[in-house]
Amino acid sequence: MMISGKKYLSSLFLVLMLISAATFAQEPVKVTRSDNKVVLEGKVYYVHVVKPGQTLYSIARAYNVTEKEVIIENPGASSDLLVGQVLKIPSDPASAFSVDTGKTEEDLRKHILKAGETIYAISRIYEIPVDEIMQYNPGLDINDIPIGQEILLPPEEPEQNQLAFDEEGMLFHKVKKGETLYSIARYYGVSVREIRTVNPELGWGGPRSGDVLRIPQPNTTVSEVFTPDSIMVDTVMPELDSSEMEVPYTYEELQMEEYMPGKMYRIVYLVPFNYSEMEPLDSLLRNVKSAPRRDRIKKDYMLEKQTPKSIPFLEFLEGALLAADALAKTGMELDIHVFDTKQSMYTTRQILEKPEMRNADLIIGPFYSYNLELVSDFSRKHRIPLVTPFHTGDSLLMDNPYLFQPNPSYRVEFKRNAEFIARSYEDNLVMVHDGDSASMERIEYYKQQLFDELEKYSALETVLFKEVIVRNGATEDLVHALNPDKKNVIILPTFDEAFASQVTSRIYYEVKNYDIALFGSTYWLGFNNIEIPYIHALNLRISHTHYYDYTDPEYLHFLREYRQNYFKEPGSFTRNGCNFGVTGYDLSLYFISALQRFGPKFILHLGEHHPVATICDFNFQRISRRGGYENVAMQYYYFDDDLRVVEIDIPEQPPMHRYRRPAGVDPLYFRWLRSEPDSTFSKQ
């Protein structure tokens, strides 16, 4: 499991730690300043976790602030701090860069539209995304641009700057009037998507003057890049009725396809290796005068030299080739092409013009959402099945009947979770979130699915449901929402590890007073900073498409083959816990074996295709009569008190009833207490 890189603590060690905390509680110990920073309501804070022996005075002194400042920012804090308590410590405002990245019209490049040119052609010429060009040309009708129109383009080169990133590869930027995400991203040499990734509070909006943004270091790791796909790119799905009114796509061309045993199948992989020879360190440091910046460049240089950022993608391809080799041994003829998209839309367009692409029987990739739309259009036009390995937005699925998405969107996850949690309709249900407007669409969708499921078992006005918004570390309302006489099912569907850690640390100290079961999200598999004993004490339950069980014979077979061929284990994971090597193996084995068994008509036989050799289960269901396929197979895991992770099934369904929903906006906030029967959300 990828819940944490920390080792499990033994019971003896926990006892010793508690004894130590009690013995030395009055003796201040040295406080090490945290490297972890967050941005809350436009301010930069350190996140400090109280350790045994630390006092309010020693913590304030370490961060060069007053005790009063700490108490103001943490209303629940006092002179008697709890071990494990999370504190927000205000950071020096000078740590945020205050530069003006905005550009006047005089600074911009200009292009005069010629006959036959389109905005897409200009995008290719200058290697600038279309949406960025449109950002500089508000009001321009992309489908009706007159010849001779002057089109503004961003500056050719960003300003040179000396930047000092912190230990997490972040710095902070204070937004000035007139700046946009595009100007800020260009100044720091990162993408808008990466900025949105580490600033989820932005949603789809832009920054306001005075906001403080986290800026990731250029060329961040691939695991950091995958997160926004699952959080930011989803759009509202049309209602089912409107979908059903559309003209269905029936794959008529496949109906006439003849299965040809022994046919050679062409498989294309679009992988963003983006590998290049490293520039000598001396040349990288030549014009850098800032000592912190020089040290950072040296550290990054050594890390890149030791483990290039292309390694995760290489492991994906290595896993894919193991699957292809296994199928080739059965007599299947394969013609495999691998293209490096170089994280470039321009390069991707060039690849799509190659004859190998039009003749492909299956495309696996690309990995990023910014060029997925381009490849999806190509897939739909040429009727080629396309598999996107890690994307989790569902908008493109609506229009491409040849698109396959192995990672479910949050809608699938929350709907399945609601079916699970609704079995606990007799318990005290508490949904916790931070009230961030960027995540409210997901929260409202989750609640609606949960209400729909609860309505099958009980009148909604009799259900104990509470919604708690935790802002700025104020968790008192969460404790007040707990019920000492019932099981408390805390639903914490956050993708933000810092927020999850904050809430988990607080409710851990209530385990002795309340019966608590915690329900997280798929991203908890990728969290590294939540204490392992906490999640086991809180009986964490999560759902996920991937679970790497070292007792599973198929997984052990894969590891043996991987070690034998590559002399290592696949060690790269996405932020939501998907292993690159395993994913490459599973997707290739599933789809290529489908071609072997059914030929191009495999789309019509998905319900019959269940290869036993795959490590993870797949259950692809079509999302609409005109759309593509989304994997809805999810497993549930339970973290028990013995520090084990156990796969579980959804509890047995209680007798179903149908209740009319009472009038009112939110009938669940009525508080009618009832006698408590046995809970169906009990420990497995």
Reported as a single tens digit per residue, the pLDDT across 176-222 is 777 777 778 877 778 777 787 777 767 555 677 777 888 887 754 43
Q: Which has the minimum average pLDDT: 132-136, 365-369, 426-430?
A: 132-136
Place of tokens 């720091």: 188
In 476-550, beta strands by DSSP E:
487-491, 515-519, 541-544
Which of 58-67, 254-263, 303-312, 573-582 is modeled with the greatest confidence? 573-582
pLDDT in tens, 587-596: 999 999 999 9
The count of other CB atoms within 10 Å of the CB of residue 248 is 13
Which of 15-29, 84-98, 191-205 is modeled with the greatest confidence? 191-205
Residue 361, pLDDT > 80, answer yes
Length of the chain: 684
Question: Alpha helix locations (H) across 138-200?
Answer: 181-188, 192-198
Place of tokens 């603590």: 9
| Cα distance between residue 628 and residue 619, in whole Å | 13
Q: Which has the minimum average pLDDT: 86-90, 491-495, 525-529?
A: 525-529
Residue 150: what residue type? E
Estimate the crossing angle of helix 311-328 against helix 553-566, to 10 degrees: 110
pLDDT in tens, 267-284: 999 998 876 555 677 776
Cβ contacts of 353-357, under 8 Å, gap ≥ 24: 356/266, 356/268, 357/268, 357/382
Q: Categorize the per-residue pLDDT at 651 as very low, low, confident or very high, splitting at 50, 70 and 90.
A: low
Instruction: Report, as an integer, the average pLDDT of 496-524.
Output: 86
Residue 416, pLDDT > 80, answer yes
More confident site: 448 or 672 = 448
Q: Categorize the per-residue pLDDT at 40 as very low, low, confident or very high, splitting at 50, 70 and 90.
A: low
Bridge-based pairing of strands 428-433 and 487-491 is parallel
- pLDDT at residue 203 in the model: 57
| Cα distance between residue 393 and residue 231, in whole Å | 8
pTM: 0.59
| Cα distance between residue 386 and residue 401, in whole Å | 10
CATH numbers and ranges of domains, the chain: 11-90 (3.10.350.10), 105-153 (3.10.350.10), 245-274+309-400+548-633 (3.40.50.2300), 411-544+636-666 (3.40.50.2300)
Q: Which of 340, 361, 308 is nearest to 599 (CA)?
A: 361
pLDDT in tens, 223-259: 333 333 333 333 333 333 444 445 688 888 777 677 7
8 A C-beta contact, residue 396 and residue 373: yes
- pLDDT at residue 185 in the model: 80
Instruction: Report, as an integer, the average pLDDT of 165-173.
Output: 67
- pLDDT at residue 41 in the model: 57
The count of other CB atoms within 10 Å of the CB of residue 120 is 13
Q: Which has the minimum average pLDDT: 22-31, 85-94, 560-569?
A: 22-31
Place of tokens 């926990």: 14
- What Rg do the C-alpha atoms of the chain give, in angstroms? 27
- pLDDT at residue 230 in the model: 33
8 A C-beta contact, residue 521 and residue 496: no
More confident site: 388 or 239 = 388
| Cα distance between residue 92 and residue 174, in whole Å | 13
Residue 656, pLDDT > 60, answer yes
| First CA to last CA distance, the chain | 19
Q: Which has the minimum average pLDDT: 45-49, 107-111, 316-320, 483-487?
A: 107-111
How is 233-245 classified by DSSP, letter by letter?
S--PPPPHHHHHH
